[in-house]
């Protein structure tokens, strides 16, 4: 052991909201991710999704080509 002491993590405030919990299956999660891409209307919105998800640079062009060159979902 080297004796390094990790600094404490920043505190977060938890917020409680009213509602009911529902199970989210892998299929539902994938569908929601596709819906986000489908709702993207511009190249800039697709680029933001690409960066958030860590996709490669060509992903945006691939999506736009699949849409037939249209910038809207």
Question: Directed axis angle between helix 59-66 and helix 43-53, to 10°?
Answer: 130
Closest CA to 33 of 42, 25, 21, 23: 25
Chain segment 12-35, per-residue pLDDT in tens: 888 999 999 999 999 999 999 999
Residue 60's contacts (CB-CB under 8 Å, 6 or more residues apart) are 43, 46, 47, 50
Distance CA 27, CA 44 (A): 27
Prediction pTM value: 0.60
Mean pLDDT value across residues 51-62? 95
């Amino acid at each position: 052991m080297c004796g390094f002491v990790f600094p404490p993590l920043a505190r977060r405030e938890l917020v409680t909201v009213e509602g009911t919990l529902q199970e989210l299956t892998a299929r539902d999660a994938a569908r929601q991710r596709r819906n986000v891409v489908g709702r993207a209307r511009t190249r800039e919105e697709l680029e933001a999704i690409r960066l958030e998800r860590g996709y490669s640079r060509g992903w945006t062009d691939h999506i736009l080509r699949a849409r037939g060159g249209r910038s809207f979902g």
